[in-house]
Structure 1
Amino acid sequence: AYAQRAYNNSENIAGVLNLDMIAWNSPSSSRDIDLHATTSIPATQDLAQLFSDVVAEYNLDLVPAITPSGSSASDHASFWQYGYTAILGIEDFSDFNPYYHTTNDLLQHADLDYFTEFVKASIGAFAHMNGCLIPSGLGYLDGTVTEAGSGTPIAGAEIAIQSAGGNTFMATTNGSGYYTRTLLSGTYTATAVAYGYLPTTITSISVATDTVTTQNFSLTAAPTYIVSGTVTEDGSGTPLLAQVTFDGSPVVIGTDPANGTYQAELPQGDYTMHVTAAAHRPAERAITVDQNQVQDFALETLPCILLVDDDNNSPDVQSYYTAALDALGYDYDLFDVGGGAGNGPTLAELQGYSIVIWFSGDKYGSTSAGPNATDETNLATYLDGGGHLFLSSQDYLYDMTLTSFAQTYLGVASFTNDSGNATTKYGLSGDPIGDGLGPYSLTYPTNFSDYGDIVNAAAGASLAFQSGANGGNSLDIDKESGAWKTVFFGTSWVPIYNNNADNGLAVLQRILSWFGCGACEAVQIVDVATAVNACTVNFTPTYVGTPPFTWDWTFQGGTPASSNVEAPTGIHFGSSGTYTYTLAMNNCSGNMDVYVDTVTVDCAACTLITDVMLTQVTTGTVSAGDAVTFAMEVLPATAVPYNYTVMVGETAVISGQTGLTNTLQFTHTFAQADSYTVTVSV
Structure 2
Amino acid sequence: MLPLSAMNTLADEGDPDLSINEITFSDDSPTGGDTITITAEIANDGGSSGLISVTTNVSFYWDGNYIGEESITVPGSNTADAEMDWKAVGGSHTITVIVDEDEQIRESNEENNEENEDIDVAYPPILLLDDDNSSNNGGTRTETDGYYTNALDNMSTSIGYDVIRVDSGQNAPDYDTLSEYSLIIWVCGSDYQSGDTDITFTDEDKLNVADYLDGGGSLWAIGHDIMYDFNNADGDRYEGDFEYDYFGVSYIDHDRQSPAVAYGVDDDPISDGISYDTSPIMTDFGDDLNPRDGFEKVLSSNGDYNISTIRTEEDYKLVFMAIDFSSFSESSDRDEFMELVVEYLVEQLENDVALSRFNTPKDGYTVEPDATNTVNITVRNRGTEDQDSVQVSIDIRCLNNTYRHTDSET
TM interval, short-chain normalised: 0.5 to 0.7
1:284 deviates by 3.1
* SS in structure 2 of the partner of residue 634 of structure 1: coil
Provide the rounded CA distance (Å) in 1 between the counterparts of 2:371 and 2:361. 21
For residue 476 of structure 1, what is the aligned residue in structure 2?
309
Q: Deviations 1:90-145 (Å, cap 9, x if unpaired)?
A: xxxxxxxxxxxxxxxxxxxxxxxxxxxxxxxxxxxxxxxxxxxxxxxxxxxxxxxx
Q: How does 1:24-423 map to 2 (within 5 A)?
A: 234=29, 281-284=91-94, 299-313=120-134, 314-328=141-155, 329-339=158-168, 341-366=169-194, 368=198, 370-401=200-231, 404-423=241-260
Instruction: Report SS of the residue matched to 1:585.
Output: strand
Q: Any unmatched runs of 5+ in structure 1?
A: 1-163, 165-232, 237-271, 274-278, 287-295, 523-544, 554-561, 600-606, 610-632, 641-682
Native 8 Å contact 2:131 2:187 kept in 1? yes
Aligned residues: 288
Q: Kindly tell me: are residues 565 and 312 of structure 1, through their superposed partners in 2, closer, same or farther at Cα, counting changes over 3 Å?
A: same
Q: For residues 443-454 of structure 1, what are the structure 2 equivalents within 5 Å?
A: 443-445=279-281, 448-454=282-288
Give the TM-score of the pair, scaled to structure 1: 0.37
Counterparts of 2:382 and 2:265, CA distance in 1: 30
Pair 363,598 (structure 1): closer, same or farther in 2 beyond 3 Å:
closer
The answer (yes or no) to whether the contact 1:475–1:491 under 8 Å persists in 2 is: yes
1:300 shift after superposition: 2.7
Q: Which residue type is aligned with residue 313 of structure 2?
A: E
Residue 563 (structure 1) aligned with residue 395 (structure 2) = no
Structure 1 residue 372: Cα displacement = 2.1
| Deviation of 1:297 (Å) | 7.5
> By how many angstroms is 1:387 displaced?
0.5
Where do 5+ consecutive residues of structure 2 fail to align? 3-27, 32-61, 64-88, 97-116, 135-140, 232-236
| Structure 1 residues 57-85: Cα deviation after superposition (integer angstroms, max 9, x where no partner) | xxxxxxxxxxxxxxxxxxxxxxxxxxxxx
| CA distance 1:433–1:564, change in 2 (3 Å) | farther
Q: Shift in Å at residue 386 of structure 1? A: 0.3
- C-alpha change, 1:310 and 1:283, in structure 2 (3 Å) is closer
Q: 1:441 and 1:581, CA in 2 relative to 1: closer, same or farther beyond 3 A?
A: closer
Q: What displacement does 1:305 show?
A: 0.8
Cα deviation, residue 564, structure 1: 8.3
Per the alignment, residue 19 of structure 2 pairs with none
Counterpart CA distance in 2 for 1:475 and 1:421 is: 8
Q: CA deviation at 1:430?
A: 3.2
Aligned partners of 1:452 and 1:430: how far apart in 2? 25
**How far apart in 2 are the matches of 1:589 and 1:385?**
15
Residue identity in the other structure for 2:404: T
Q: Helix, strand or coil: the match of 1:363?
A: coil
Higher normalized strand content (fraction of residues): 1
Contact 1:581 1:598 in 2 (8 A): no
Identity of aligned residues (%): 25
How far did 1:311 drift?
Answer: 1.3
Asked if structure 1 preserves the Cα contact closer than 8 Å seen for 2:261 and 2:277, the reply is yes
Deviation for aligned residue 1:334: 1.2
| Aligned residue among 501, 508, 523 for 2:331 | 501
Secondary structure, counterpart of 1:325 in structure 2: helix
Post-superposition shift, 1:330? 2.6
Amino acid at match of 1:510: L
Rg comparison, structure with higher value: 1
Residue of structure 1 in register with 2:404 after alignment: 638
Deviation (angstroms), 1:521: 3.0
CA distance in 1, matches of 2:278, 2:392: 60
Query: What is the root-mean-square deviation of aligned Cα atoms in Å?
Result: 4.2
